[in-house]
Chains A and B, each alone.
Chain A
Amino acid sequence: MTLLAVKNLTVAFPTRTGVFEAVRGVSFTVGKERLGIVGESGSGKSMTGRAILRLIRPPGRIIADGITLAGEDLLTMTERQMRKVRGQRISMVMQDPKFSLNPVMTIGEQMTEAYALHDHQGNANARARATEMLERVLIRDPERVMRAYPHELSGGMGQRVMIAMMLIPNPEILIADEPTSALDVSVQTQVLQIMDRLVHEQGMGLIFISHDLNLVASFCDRVLIMYAGRIVETLRADALHDAEHPYTKGLLNSLPRLDAPAERLEVLTRDPAWHAAPSVEGNG
């Protein structure tokens, strides 16, 4: 079942040297699955995630034939209607907790603020729920973390707090933009398991934006590979290592591998033709 459908999405920014298109005509759908979007910095993967929530600031523009969430077009909604979608129906976990947490509020205040906004059920209840979510993302001492300010937490802790906060309202879609790149491997596994469970048990759709090909190959169901604002290839995640596009292959080969020692790492050479090639449809 399709939860979210994106049709012919373009994100454009006017610059002194003409209009720059960060995303160029991308179409894909998300069901109750783990959809990975992989690419390097500048490939447009984060912009795609932000555009779904209409988080592109003017003069940047979002142009699309439609971004539909369960049949409703997000593009025609008013700002007021959009605020109900953001956080409640589609949540987003950003890359860096340093910039997404409010530095002058305690974690507890921030988490309960979000919950109070969504559920209107009183403070004690909100605190209990926030503590519970912190426990679910495997924070050992949630009471202490609730009293802490963001600068008192490590990067990994901050990111787990962000994920806990985003999961509080039980969203239909979670857009996770490099959610685990600041985390340690063992915590990463645990956080991924939490998201995995939400997809399986609550039928949440997950858009997992990442640059880590191996992680996406082992975690997601389906993968879109983006290059220069377009989708160059779409694959089942378990078939990622059989990728055919030279860009995908180049990325895979440039990774050092634990199981296969190499004297030198392969360096990706970019073909200008990749830039001009049309976008591939990413429908599930």
Chain B
Amino acid sequence: MNALAIEHLDVWFADGADRVDAVKDASFSVEAGGSFGLVGESGSGKSTILKAITGLVPTWSGRIAVNGTDLGAKRDRQFYSTVQMVFQDPYASLHPRHSVDQMLTETLSLHRIPDANTRIPQLLADVGLGPSFRFRYPHQLSGGQRQRVAIARALASNPSILLLDEPTSALDVSVQAEILNLLNDLRSANNLTFLMVSHNLAVVSHMCSRVAVMQDGAIVEVMTVEDMRALNPSHDYTRHLLNAALGYRPEGAPPPT
């Protein structure tokens, strides 16, 4: 069964002359336990799809189904315990004046999960942080540690689907490696489904098995990672992205073959 199914999704902002169609007729599905990547440049609508799924954008039409259930205008608690999101910038997504303990306690109480006192150290251990991190504030954590806390918060409700919006683009490469390893470990340990947005094709190819390439709000191509690694795109725009991802080429230099 598909954990996530998106059909003919349109998302727009504002109305009348200012209307911006951020996502146009996007369709894809992610099987349970799968890992699907959305790549594209800024403004291509990849993050907007995540926002539409989580209910952060009310103006959408089409079909979004989670575990076979169609979503309406509102999201209930059940939805949020199934689907959780990790944001791009752990410097912005953690409350600067809440300790790790406060953050996780609040999340657990929102999901009506009892016994925070035993659950919190367990959550921290799951993301590779010791119990000593429990009473720290975000400014006492490094970028990688913050992202681990954000992942722990997303895992608090035992979700089955994680939406990852550029989870490592604000981190150093050595820390990125740690976080990507952690995410992969968590996925296999908890049988999670990932929908990951990234502009970094190498990161997506490491994390996902299928990838949708977006341009100007539309999905131009859905390809397997094998095709991507073999530099075997069917759409010109994908070829262009792949060439750019292989490093800098001076003007007029032939593309790598």
> Which B residues between 92 and 120 are near A, CB-CB below 8 angstroms?
none
Closest CB in chain B relative to A216 CB, distance in Å: 9
Counting CB contacts under 8 A, is A77 at the interface? no
Counting CB contacts under 8 A, is B173 at the interface? yes
Give the distance in Å from the alpha carbon of A121 to the alpha carbon of B246 in the complex.
43
Q: Which of the segments A5-13, A83-91, A263-271 contacts the partner chain?
A: A263-271
10 smallest beta-carbon distances between A and B, as pairs: A218-B247, A184-B41, A256-B206, A185-B244, A265-B177, A268-B174, A254-B177, A219-B248, A218-B248, A40-B172
Partner of A211, one of B173, B199, B201, B247: B173
Within 8 Å CB of A266, what residues of B? Answer: 177
Within 8 Å CB of A188, what residues of B? Answer: 244
Give the distance in Å from the alpha carbon of A3 to the alpha carbon of B153 in the complex.
51
Q: A196-B250, A262-B206 are in contact. Are A267 and B173 (CB under 8 A)?
A: no
Counting CB contacts under 8 A, is B202 at the interface? yes
Within 8 Å CB of A41, what residues of B? Answer: 143, 172
Counting CB contacts under 8 A, is B228 at the interface? yes
Counting CB contacts under 8 A, is B43 at the interface? yes
Give the distance in Å from the alpha carbon of A40 to the alpha carbon of B178 in the complex.
14
Closest CB in chain B relative to A241 CB, distance in Å: 11
Give the distance in Å from the alpha carbon of A189 to the alpha carbon of B184 in the complex.
31
In the complex, the answer to whether B178 meets A214 with C-beta atoms within 8 Å is no
Give the distance in Å from the alpha carbon of A267 to the alpha carbon of B180 in the complex.
10
Give the distance in Å from the alpha carbon of A259 to the alpha carbon of B181 in the complex.
19
In the complex, the answer to whether B174 meets A251 with C-beta atoms within 8 Å is yes
Closest CB in chain B relative to A274 CB, distance in Å: 13
Within 8 Å CB of A154, what residues of B? Answer: 42-43
In the complex, the answer to whether B229 meets A186 with C-beta atoms within 8 Å is no
Interface 1/0 per residue, A260-284 and B, CB below 8 Å: 0110111110000000000000000
In the complex, the answer to whether A255 meets B202 with C-beta atoms within 8 Å is yes
Within 8 Å CB of B180, what residues of A? Answer: 256, 265
Counting CB contacts under 8 A, is A148 at the interface? no
* Chain B residue at minimal CB-CB distance from A180: B248
Closest CB in chain B relative to A182 CB, distance in Å: 8
* Chain A residue at minimal CB-CB distance from B242: A258
* Chain B residue at minimal CB-CB distance from A250: B174
In the complex, the answer to whether B229 meets A156 with C-beta atoms within 8 Å is no
Within 8 Å CB of B248, what residues of A? Answer: 189, 192, 215, 218-219
Counting CB contacts under 8 A, is B241 at the interface? yes
In the complex, the answer to whether A258 meets B181 with C-beta atoms within 8 Å is no
Further contacts, 9 of them, CB under 8 A, given A41-B172, A189-B244, A257-B202 = A213-B173, A219-B247, A256-B177, A257-B206, A258-B242, A258-B245, A264-B184, A265-B176, A267-B178
Counting CB contacts under 8 A, is B15 at the interface? no
Counting CB contacts under 8 A, is B205 at the interface? yes
Partner of A265, one of B181, B240, B241, B247: B181
In the complex, the answer to whether A40 meets B41 with C-beta atoms within 8 Å is no
Counting CB contacts under 8 A, is B251 at the interface? yes
- Tally chain A residues at the interface, Cβ within 8 Å: 37
In the complex, the answer to whether A217 meets B172 with C-beta atoms within 8 Å is no
Counting CB contacts under 8 A, is A197 at the interface? yes
Closest CB in chain B relative to A85 CB, distance in Å: 29
In the complex, the answer to whether A156 meets B173 with C-beta atoms within 8 Å is no
Give the distance in Å from the alpha carbon of A256 to the alpha carbon of B229 in the complex.
12
> Which A residues between 232 and 266 are near B, CB-CB below 8 angstroms?
250-251, 254-259, 261-262, 264-266
Counting CB contacts under 8 A, is A76 at the interface? no
In the complex, the answer to whether A217 meets B247 with C-beta atoms within 8 Å is yes
12 contacts between A and B (CB under 8 A): A41-B172, A154-B42, A155-B42, A156-B41, A156-B42, A184-B41, A188-B244, A196-B250, A256-B203, A258-B245, A265-B181, A267-B178
Give the distance in Å from the alpha carbon of A187 to the alpha carbon of B44 in the complex.
14
Give the distance in Å from the alpha carbon of A189 to the alpha carbon of B205 in the complex.
21
Counting CB contacts under 8 A, is B249 at the interface? yes
* Chain B residue at minimal CB-CB distance from A270: B174
Give the distance in Å from the alpha carbon of A156 to the alpha carbon of B43 in the complex.
10
> Which B residues between 166 and 188 are near A, CB-CB below 8 angstroms?
172-174, 176-178, 180-181, 184
Within 8 Å CB of A254, what residues of B? Answer: 173-174, 176-177
In the complex, the answer to whether A256 meets B202 with C-beta atoms within 8 Å is yes
Within 8 Å CB of A262, what residues of B? Answer: 206
Among A184, A257, A265, which residue has the most Cβ atoms of chain B within 10 A? A265
Within 8 Å CB of B43, what residues of A? Answer: 154
Partner of A193, one of B173, B181, B184, B250: B250
Give the distance in Å from the alpha carbon of A268 to the alpha carbon of B232 in the complex.
32
Q: A185-B41, A186-B244, A214-B247 are in contact. Are A264 and B174 (CB under 8 A)?
A: no
In the complex, the answer to whether B240 meets A184 with C-beta atoms within 8 Å is no
> Which A residues between 25 and 74 are near B, CB-CB below 8 angstroms?
40-41
In the complex, the answer to whether B174 meets A40 with C-beta atoms within 8 Å is yes
Among A193, A215, A251, A255, which residue has the most Cβ atoms of chain B within 10 A? A255
Within 8 Å CB of A257, what residues of B? Answer: 202, 206
